[in-house]
Amino acid sequence: MSDNPRFFNRSELLGVLVLAVLLVVVLPLSVDIFRLNLVAKYLSYSFVAIGLVLCWGYAGILSLGQGVFFGIGGYCMAMFLKLEASSAANTKIQSTPGIPDFMDWNQITALPSFWQPFHSLAFAIVAIFVLPAIFAFIVGAAMFKRRVGGVYFAIITQAIAAILTILIVGQQGYTGGINGITDLRTLEGWDIRTDHAKLILYFVEVACLIACIFAALIIHHSKLGRILVAMREKEDRVRFSGYSVANFKIFAFCAAAVFAAIGGAMFTLQVGFMSPSFVGIVPSIEMVIYTAVGGRQSILGAVYGTLLVNAAKTSFSESFPQLWLLGLGSLFIAVVLAFPNGLAGIWRDHVQGQFERWSASRRARSGASKPRVADNVPAE
Protein backbone atom coordinates (compact mmCIF):
# COMPACT_ATOMS: atom_id res chain seq x y z
CA MET A 1 0.00 0.00 0.00
CA SER A 2 2.89 2.34 0.59
CA ASP A 3 4.06 2.79 -2.98
CA ASN A 4 2.44 5.46 -5.05
CA PRO A 5 0.33 3.94 -7.80
CA ARG A 6 1.59 6.53 -10.25
CA PHE A 7 4.74 4.44 -10.71
CA PHE A 8 3.81 1.67 -13.06
CA ASN A 9 4.02 -1.81 -11.72
CA ARG A 10 6.69 -4.16 -12.95
CA SER A 11 4.57 -6.33 -15.17
CA GLU A 12 3.37 -3.29 -17.11
CA LEU A 13 6.86 -1.91 -17.62
CA LEU A 14 7.92 -5.36 -18.77
CA GLY A 15 4.97 -5.45 -21.15
CA VAL A 16 5.90 -2.10 -22.70
CA LEU A 17 9.50 -3.25 -22.99
CA VAL A 18 8.49 -6.46 -24.77
CA LEU A 19 6.32 -4.49 -27.16
CA ALA A 20 9.13 -2.01 -27.81
CA VAL A 21 11.62 -4.80 -28.53
CA LEU A 22 9.12 -6.47 -30.84
CA LEU A 23 8.45 -3.27 -32.78
CA VAL A 24 11.94 -1.79 -32.78
CA VAL A 25 14.12 -4.89 -33.16
CA VAL A 26 12.21 -8.03 -34.13
CA LEU A 27 9.87 -6.74 -36.82
CA PRO A 28 12.33 -4.50 -38.72
CA LEU A 29 14.82 -7.38 -38.84
CA SER A 30 12.37 -10.07 -39.81
CA VAL A 31 10.04 -8.51 -42.41
CA ASP A 32 10.72 -6.59 -45.61
CA ILE A 33 10.00 -2.89 -45.98
CA PHE A 34 6.66 -3.52 -47.70
CA ARG A 35 5.39 -5.59 -44.77
CA LEU A 36 6.93 -3.17 -42.30
CA ASN A 37 4.99 -0.37 -43.94
CA LEU A 38 1.83 -2.43 -43.47
CA VAL A 39 2.70 -2.83 -39.79
CA ALA A 40 3.15 0.93 -39.61
CA LYS A 41 -0.30 1.39 -41.09
CA TYR A 42 -1.80 -1.00 -38.52
CA LEU A 43 0.05 0.75 -35.73
CA SER A 44 -1.55 4.04 -36.69
CA TYR A 45 -4.92 2.44 -35.83
CA SER A 46 -3.56 1.28 -32.50
CA PHE A 47 -3.36 4.92 -31.37
CA VAL A 48 -7.13 5.01 -31.79
CA ALA A 49 -7.44 1.74 -29.90
CA ILE A 50 -5.44 3.14 -26.95
CA GLY A 51 -7.81 6.11 -26.86
CA LEU A 52 -10.78 3.75 -26.91
CA VAL A 53 -9.36 1.82 -23.94
CA LEU A 54 -9.39 5.06 -21.94
CA CYS A 55 -12.73 6.24 -23.16
CA TRP A 56 -14.67 2.99 -23.58
CA GLY A 57 -12.79 0.43 -21.49
CA TYR A 58 -12.16 2.57 -18.43
CA ALA A 59 -14.77 5.31 -18.55
CA GLY A 60 -17.49 3.26 -20.25
CA ILE A 61 -18.13 5.81 -23.00
CA LEU A 62 -18.54 3.92 -26.26
CA SER A 63 -17.70 6.16 -29.19
CA LEU A 64 -18.50 4.79 -32.63
CA GLY A 65 -17.05 7.89 -34.25
CA GLN A 66 -13.33 7.74 -33.53
CA GLY A 67 -12.74 7.81 -37.28
CA VAL A 68 -13.71 11.48 -37.09
CA PHE A 69 -10.69 12.26 -34.94
CA PHE A 70 -8.44 9.91 -36.87
CA GLY A 71 -9.55 11.86 -39.92
CA ILE A 72 -8.97 15.27 -38.34
CA GLY A 73 -5.39 14.30 -37.50
CA GLY A 74 -4.87 12.69 -40.88
CA TYR A 75 -6.28 15.62 -42.83
CA CYS A 76 -4.25 18.18 -40.83
CA MET A 77 -1.08 16.35 -41.80
CA ALA A 78 -2.27 15.76 -45.36
CA MET A 79 -3.13 19.45 -45.85
CA PHE A 80 0.37 20.47 -44.87
CA LEU A 81 2.00 17.85 -47.10
CA LYS A 82 -0.32 18.68 -49.99
CA LEU A 83 0.52 22.38 -49.83
CA GLU A 84 4.20 21.53 -49.85
CA ALA A 85 3.66 19.23 -52.84
CA SER A 86 1.70 21.98 -54.64
CA SER A 87 4.48 24.52 -54.95
CA ALA A 88 4.18 26.89 -57.89
CA ALA A 89 6.96 25.02 -59.66
CA ASN A 90 5.26 21.63 -59.28
CA THR A 91 1.88 22.90 -60.41
CA LYS A 92 2.80 25.27 -63.23
CA ILE A 93 0.63 23.37 -65.75
CA GLN A 94 -2.51 24.16 -63.70
CA SER A 95 -4.69 27.13 -64.59
CA THR A 96 -3.97 28.45 -61.09
CA PRO A 97 -0.48 27.34 -60.08
CA GLY A 98 0.38 26.97 -56.38
CA ILE A 99 -2.90 25.45 -55.18
CA PRO A 100 -3.58 21.73 -54.70
CA ASP A 101 -4.43 19.92 -57.94
CA PHE A 102 -7.97 18.90 -56.90
CA MET A 103 -8.85 22.55 -56.25
CA ASP A 104 -7.73 23.43 -59.73
CA TRP A 105 -9.87 20.62 -61.16
CA ASN A 106 -12.85 22.02 -59.26
CA GLN A 107 -12.43 25.52 -60.71
CA ILE A 108 -11.22 27.03 -57.46
CA THR A 109 -8.83 29.85 -58.21
CA ALA A 110 -7.46 30.81 -54.82
CA LEU A 111 -6.39 28.86 -51.75
CA PRO A 112 -9.29 28.90 -49.25
CA SER A 113 -8.51 30.80 -46.06
CA PHE A 114 -8.73 27.74 -43.78
CA TRP A 115 -5.97 26.12 -45.84
CA GLN A 116 -3.60 29.08 -45.46
CA PRO A 117 -2.14 28.28 -42.00
CA PHE A 118 -1.29 24.74 -43.14
CA HIS A 119 1.71 26.14 -45.01
CA SER A 120 3.42 25.89 -41.63
CA LEU A 121 4.46 22.48 -40.26
CA ALA A 122 4.41 23.84 -36.72
CA PHE A 123 0.79 24.94 -37.16
CA ALA A 124 -0.15 21.55 -38.61
CA ILE A 125 1.40 19.71 -35.67
CA VAL A 126 -0.32 21.97 -33.13
CA ALA A 127 -3.59 21.53 -35.03
CA ILE A 128 -3.24 17.72 -34.84
CA PHE A 129 -3.43 18.03 -31.06
CA VAL A 130 -5.70 21.02 -30.62
CA LEU A 131 -8.40 20.61 -33.28
CA PRO A 132 -9.58 17.13 -32.20
CA ALA A 133 -9.49 18.23 -28.56
CA ILE A 134 -11.66 21.27 -29.32
CA PHE A 135 -14.07 19.27 -31.42
CA ALA A 136 -14.31 16.49 -28.83
CA PHE A 137 -14.80 19.11 -26.12
CA ILE A 138 -17.72 20.68 -27.98
CA VAL A 139 -19.38 17.32 -28.67
CA GLY A 140 -18.62 16.04 -25.17
CA ALA A 141 -19.84 19.18 -23.43
CA ALA A 142 -23.04 19.19 -25.46
CA MET A 143 -23.74 15.53 -24.64
CA PHE A 144 -22.35 14.90 -21.16
CA LYS A 145 -23.56 18.13 -19.54
CA ARG A 146 -27.05 17.06 -20.58
CA ARG A 147 -26.33 13.56 -19.26
CA VAL A 148 -26.63 11.92 -22.63
CA GLY A 149 -24.74 8.67 -22.42
CA GLY A 150 -24.61 5.00 -23.28
CA VAL A 151 -26.25 3.92 -26.50
CA TYR A 152 -27.45 7.43 -27.32
CA PHE A 153 -23.94 8.77 -27.21
CA ALA A 154 -22.71 5.92 -29.43
CA ILE A 155 -25.43 6.65 -31.99
CA ILE A 156 -24.69 10.37 -31.99
CA THR A 157 -20.97 9.80 -32.53
CA GLN A 158 -21.83 7.48 -35.38
CA ALA A 159 -24.04 10.16 -36.91
CA ILE A 160 -21.19 12.67 -36.61
CA ALA A 161 -18.90 10.25 -38.46
CA ALA A 162 -21.49 9.94 -41.21
CA ILE A 163 -22.00 13.71 -41.40
CA LEU A 164 -18.29 14.43 -41.63
CA THR A 165 -17.85 11.86 -44.40
CA ILE A 166 -20.68 13.38 -46.40
CA LEU A 167 -19.27 16.85 -45.82
CA ILE A 168 -15.80 15.85 -47.02
CA VAL A 169 -17.16 14.06 -50.08
CA GLY A 170 -19.57 16.88 -50.89
CA GLN A 171 -17.04 19.72 -50.57
CA GLN A 172 -14.76 18.23 -53.21
CA GLY A 173 -13.10 21.50 -54.10
CA TYR A 174 -11.95 22.12 -50.54
CA THR A 175 -11.29 18.60 -49.33
CA GLY A 176 -10.38 16.47 -52.33
CA GLY A 177 -13.75 14.70 -52.11
CA ILE A 178 -14.04 10.92 -52.19
CA ASN A 179 -10.46 10.50 -53.44
CA GLY A 180 -9.14 12.38 -50.46
CA ILE A 181 -5.85 14.21 -50.49
CA THR A 182 -3.39 12.23 -52.56
CA ASP A 183 0.02 12.54 -54.14
CA LEU A 184 1.86 13.69 -51.01
CA ARG A 185 5.57 13.92 -51.61
CA THR A 186 7.86 15.67 -49.19
CA LEU A 187 8.04 16.79 -45.58
CA GLU A 188 10.08 20.00 -45.36
CA GLY A 189 11.95 18.90 -48.48
CA TRP A 190 12.49 15.32 -47.30
CA ASP A 191 11.01 12.77 -49.71
CA ILE A 192 8.67 10.56 -47.65
CA ARG A 193 8.04 8.08 -50.46
CA THR A 194 11.40 6.30 -50.36
CA ASP A 195 11.94 3.04 -48.49
CA HIS A 196 14.49 4.71 -46.28
CA ALA A 197 12.04 7.46 -45.31
CA LYS A 198 9.38 4.85 -44.58
CA LEU A 199 11.78 3.05 -42.27
CA ILE A 200 12.60 6.28 -40.42
CA LEU A 201 8.90 7.18 -40.19
CA TYR A 202 8.18 3.72 -38.83
CA PHE A 203 10.59 4.32 -35.96
CA VAL A 204 9.14 7.79 -35.36
CA GLU A 205 5.71 6.22 -35.18
CA VAL A 206 6.85 3.54 -32.73
CA ALA A 207 8.37 6.26 -30.54
CA CYS A 208 5.09 8.20 -30.60
CA LEU A 209 3.18 5.03 -29.82
CA ILE A 210 5.35 4.24 -26.79
CA ALA A 211 4.92 7.85 -25.62
CA CYS A 212 1.14 7.53 -26.00
CA ILE A 213 1.17 4.23 -24.10
CA PHE A 214 2.99 5.92 -21.24
CA ALA A 215 0.60 8.87 -21.32
CA ALA A 216 -2.34 6.47 -21.17
CA LEU A 217 -0.72 4.53 -18.31
CA ILE A 218 -0.12 7.75 -16.39
CA ILE A 219 -3.79 8.67 -16.79
CA HIS A 220 -4.84 5.15 -15.82
CA HIS A 221 -2.74 5.10 -12.67
CA SER A 222 -3.65 8.61 -11.54
CA LYS A 223 -6.64 9.19 -9.34
CA LEU A 224 -8.35 10.39 -12.50
CA GLY A 225 -8.03 6.88 -13.93
CA ARG A 226 -9.67 5.39 -10.87
CA ILE A 227 -12.45 7.96 -11.04
CA LEU A 228 -13.09 6.94 -14.65
CA VAL A 229 -13.51 3.31 -13.55
CA ALA A 230 -15.66 4.39 -10.61
CA MET A 231 -17.81 6.46 -12.95
CA ARG A 232 -18.36 3.52 -15.31
CA GLU A 233 -19.85 1.58 -12.41
CA LYS A 234 -21.61 4.13 -10.25
CA GLU A 235 -21.95 7.46 -11.91
CA ASP A 236 -24.21 8.82 -9.18
CA ARG A 237 -21.86 7.88 -6.37
CA VAL A 238 -19.06 9.80 -8.12
CA ARG A 239 -21.30 12.86 -8.23
CA PHE A 240 -22.02 12.46 -4.55
CA SER A 241 -18.31 12.14 -3.83
CA GLY A 242 -18.07 15.72 -5.12
CA TYR A 243 -16.89 15.25 -8.71
CA SER A 244 -18.39 16.67 -11.87
CA VAL A 245 -18.97 13.50 -13.86
CA ALA A 246 -19.51 15.44 -17.10
CA ASN A 247 -16.07 17.07 -16.89
CA PHE A 248 -14.35 13.72 -16.39
CA LYS A 249 -16.21 12.20 -19.32
CA ILE A 250 -15.28 15.17 -21.50
CA PHE A 251 -11.65 14.68 -20.52
CA ALA A 252 -11.69 10.97 -21.40
CA PHE A 253 -13.36 11.69 -24.72
CA CYS A 254 -10.91 14.51 -25.56
CA ALA A 255 -7.91 12.34 -24.64
CA ALA A 256 -9.21 9.55 -26.87
CA ALA A 257 -9.72 12.08 -29.67
CA VAL A 258 -6.16 13.38 -29.43
CA PHE A 259 -4.72 9.85 -29.46
CA ALA A 260 -6.82 9.04 -32.52
CA ALA A 261 -5.65 12.22 -34.28
CA ILE A 262 -1.99 11.39 -33.66
CA GLY A 263 -2.69 8.00 -35.23
CA GLY A 264 -4.36 9.68 -38.20
CA ALA A 265 -1.37 11.98 -38.77
CA MET A 266 0.96 8.97 -38.63
CA PHE A 267 -1.26 7.13 -41.08
CA THR A 268 -1.01 9.96 -43.59
CA LEU A 269 2.78 10.02 -43.30
CA GLN A 270 3.06 6.24 -43.74
CA VAL A 271 0.50 5.64 -46.44
CA GLY A 272 0.94 8.89 -48.34
CA PHE A 273 -2.69 9.92 -48.60
CA MET A 274 -5.84 10.54 -46.55
CA SER A 275 -9.40 9.97 -47.66
CA PRO A 276 -12.93 9.97 -46.21
CA SER A 277 -12.92 6.16 -46.24
CA PHE A 278 -10.97 6.33 -42.96
CA VAL A 279 -13.41 8.76 -41.34
CA GLY A 280 -16.82 7.14 -41.68
CA ILE A 281 -18.89 4.65 -39.74
CA VAL A 282 -17.25 1.45 -40.96
CA PRO A 283 -13.66 2.31 -40.02
CA SER A 284 -14.88 3.75 -36.72
CA ILE A 285 -16.59 0.49 -35.84
CA GLU A 286 -13.60 -1.54 -37.00
CA MET A 287 -11.47 0.44 -34.55
CA VAL A 288 -13.85 -0.53 -31.74
CA ILE A 289 -13.49 -4.17 -32.81
CA TYR A 290 -9.68 -3.97 -32.62
CA THR A 291 -10.01 -2.66 -29.08
CA ALA A 292 -12.52 -5.33 -28.10
CA VAL A 293 -10.37 -8.13 -29.51
CA GLY A 294 -7.27 -6.85 -27.76
CA GLY A 295 -9.10 -6.31 -24.50
CA ARG A 296 -10.87 -3.08 -23.86
CA GLN A 297 -9.38 -2.64 -20.44
CA SER A 298 -5.80 -3.18 -21.47
CA ILE A 299 -3.72 -0.51 -23.14
CA LEU A 300 -1.14 -3.00 -24.42
CA GLY A 301 -3.84 -5.50 -25.33
CA ALA A 302 -5.42 -2.93 -27.62
CA VAL A 303 -2.15 -2.54 -29.52
CA TYR A 304 -1.79 -6.30 -30.01
CA GLY A 305 -5.47 -6.60 -30.91
CA THR A 306 -5.08 -3.96 -33.61
CA LEU A 307 -2.00 -5.62 -35.04
CA LEU A 308 -3.52 -9.11 -35.06
CA VAL A 309 -6.91 -8.19 -36.49
CA ASN A 310 -5.28 -6.13 -39.22
CA ALA A 311 -2.75 -8.85 -40.03
CA ALA A 312 -5.64 -11.30 -40.25
CA LYS A 313 -7.58 -8.81 -42.37
CA THR A 314 -4.73 -8.45 -44.83
CA SER A 315 -4.08 -12.16 -45.21
CA PHE A 316 -7.74 -13.27 -45.27
CA SER A 317 -8.96 -10.51 -47.51
CA GLU A 318 -6.27 -11.47 -50.02
CA SER A 319 -7.60 -15.04 -50.15
CA PHE A 320 -11.32 -14.60 -49.42
CA PRO A 321 -12.25 -11.00 -50.19
CA GLN A 322 -16.02 -11.61 -49.89
CA LEU A 323 -15.85 -13.49 -46.63
CA TRP A 324 -13.60 -11.11 -44.73
CA LEU A 325 -16.25 -8.76 -43.38
CA LEU A 326 -18.37 -11.68 -42.20
CA GLY A 327 -15.29 -13.07 -40.50
CA LEU A 328 -14.60 -9.77 -38.76
CA GLY A 329 -18.21 -9.57 -37.58
CA SER A 330 -18.13 -13.12 -36.23
CA LEU A 331 -14.83 -12.42 -34.52
CA PHE A 332 -16.39 -9.45 -32.75
CA ILE A 333 -19.42 -11.43 -31.61
CA ALA A 334 -17.23 -14.35 -30.48
CA VAL A 335 -14.95 -12.08 -28.49
CA VAL A 336 -17.82 -10.27 -26.79
CA LEU A 337 -19.58 -13.52 -25.90
CA ALA A 338 -16.65 -15.73 -24.93
CA PHE A 339 -13.82 -13.37 -24.00
CA PRO A 340 -15.22 -10.04 -22.82
CA ASN A 341 -11.72 -8.98 -21.82
CA GLY A 342 -10.23 -9.97 -25.15
CA LEU A 343 -6.67 -11.14 -25.66
CA ALA A 344 -5.54 -9.33 -22.52
CA GLY A 345 -8.09 -11.27 -20.49
CA ILE A 346 -6.93 -14.59 -21.93
CA TRP A 347 -3.33 -13.62 -21.20
CA ARG A 348 -4.11 -12.58 -17.64
CA ASP A 349 -6.24 -15.61 -16.81
CA HIS A 350 -4.27 -18.36 -18.47
CA VAL A 351 -0.69 -17.27 -19.06
CA GLN A 352 0.33 -14.62 -16.58
CA GLY A 353 -0.54 -16.65 -13.49
CA GLN A 354 1.66 -19.51 -14.58
CA PHE A 355 4.43 -17.14 -15.53
CA GLU A 356 4.31 -15.52 -12.11
CA ARG A 357 4.35 -18.85 -10.34
CA TRP A 358 7.35 -19.84 -12.42
CA SER A 359 9.25 -16.62 -11.70
CA ALA A 360 8.32 -16.76 -8.00
CA SER A 361 9.64 -20.27 -7.65
CA ARG A 362 12.79 -19.27 -9.49
CA ARG A 363 13.30 -16.32 -7.19
CA ALA A 364 12.71 -18.52 -4.15
CA ARG A 365 15.32 -20.97 -5.40
CA SER A 366 17.91 -18.30 -5.99
CA GLY A 367 17.44 -17.27 -2.37
CA ALA A 368 17.21 -13.58 -3.25
CA SER A 369 13.51 -13.33 -2.56
CA LYS A 370 12.53 -10.14 -0.90
CA PRO A 371 9.07 -9.66 0.57
CA ARG A 372 7.24 -8.15 -2.30
CA VAL A 373 5.02 -5.12 -1.75
CA ALA A 374 1.57 -5.91 -2.99
CA ASP A 375 0.63 -4.01 -6.10
CA ASN A 376 -2.20 -1.61 -5.62
CA VAL A 377 -3.46 -1.87 -9.11
CA PRO A 378 -4.43 -5.20 -10.55
CA ALA A 379 -2.10 -6.04 -13.40
CA GLU A 380 -3.63 -5.67 -16.80
Residue 218 Cβ vs other proteins, minimum distance, rounded to whole Å: 8
Q: Which of 160, 245, 262, 269 binds other proteins (CB under 8 A)?
A: 245
Nearest CB to other proteins, comparing residues 6 and 10: 6
Nearer to other proteins, 121 or 246 (CB): 246
| Phi, psi (degrees; rounded to nearest 5) at 296 | -75, -5
- CA dist., res. 2 & res. 373, Å (int): 8
Site string for other proteins, 198-237 (x = CB under 8 A): ---------------------x--xxx-xx-xx-xxx-xx
Enter the DSSP assignment of 350: I
Does 374 participate in binding other proteins (rule CB under 8 A)?
yes
3-state secondary structure (DSSP) of residue 281: helix
Cβ-based nearer residue to other proteins, 4 or 319? 4
Measured from the CB atom, the residue of 10 and 223 that comes closer to other proteins is 223
Q: Distance from CA of residue 163 to its chain's centroid?
A: 21
Task: Give whichever of 283 and 345 is closer to other proteins, judged by the CB atom.
Answer: 345
Counting contacts by CB under 8 A, is residue 244 touching other proteins? yes
CA 45 to CA 73: how far, in whole Å? 12
Q: Residue 359, interface with other proteins (CB under 8 A)?
A: no
Cβ atoms 275, 138 nearer than 8 A:
no
Tell me, by CB under 8 A, how many residues bind other proteins: 32
The residue within the footprint of other proteins, chosen from 4, 109, 113, 322 (CB under 8 A), is: 4
Return the bridge partners of 187, or none.
190
Should residue 147 be labelled a site residue for other proteins when binding is judged by CB under 8 A?
no
Q: Which stretch binds other proteins (CB under 8 A): 28-36, 117-125, 243-251, 267-275?
A: 243-251
Contact between 302 and 50 under an 8 Å Cβ cutoff? The reply is yes
Is residue 146 near other proteins by the rule CB under 8 A?
A: no
101 contacts 193 by C-beta, under 8 angstroms = no
**Shortest Å distance, C-beta 229 to other proteins:** 5
Gap between the Cα atoms of 266 and 87, Å rounded: 23
Q: Are 191 and 98 in contact (CB under 8 A)?
A: no
Binding string, residues 70-109; x marks residues near other proteins by CB under 8 A:
----------------------------------------
- Part of the chain binding other proteins (CB under 8 A), chosen from 116-124, 248-256, 261-269, 362-370: 248-256
Residue ranges in 6-45 that form contacts with other proteins under rule CB under 8 A: 6
Nearer to other proteins, 57 or 177 (CB): 57
Which whole-number Å values give the CA distances from 167 to 115, 156, 177, 187, 276, in the listed order? 16, 16, 9, 27, 9
- What distances in angstroms separate CA 203 from CA 44, 198, 260, 308, one per listed residue? 12, 9, 18, 20
CA distance 34 to 91: 30
Instruction: Give the side-chain half-sphere CA count within 13 A for 223.
Output: 2
Q: Which residues lie near other proteins (CB under 8 A)?
A: 1-2, 4-6, 219, 222-224, 226-227, 229-230, 232-234, 236-245, 247-248, 250-251, 374, 376
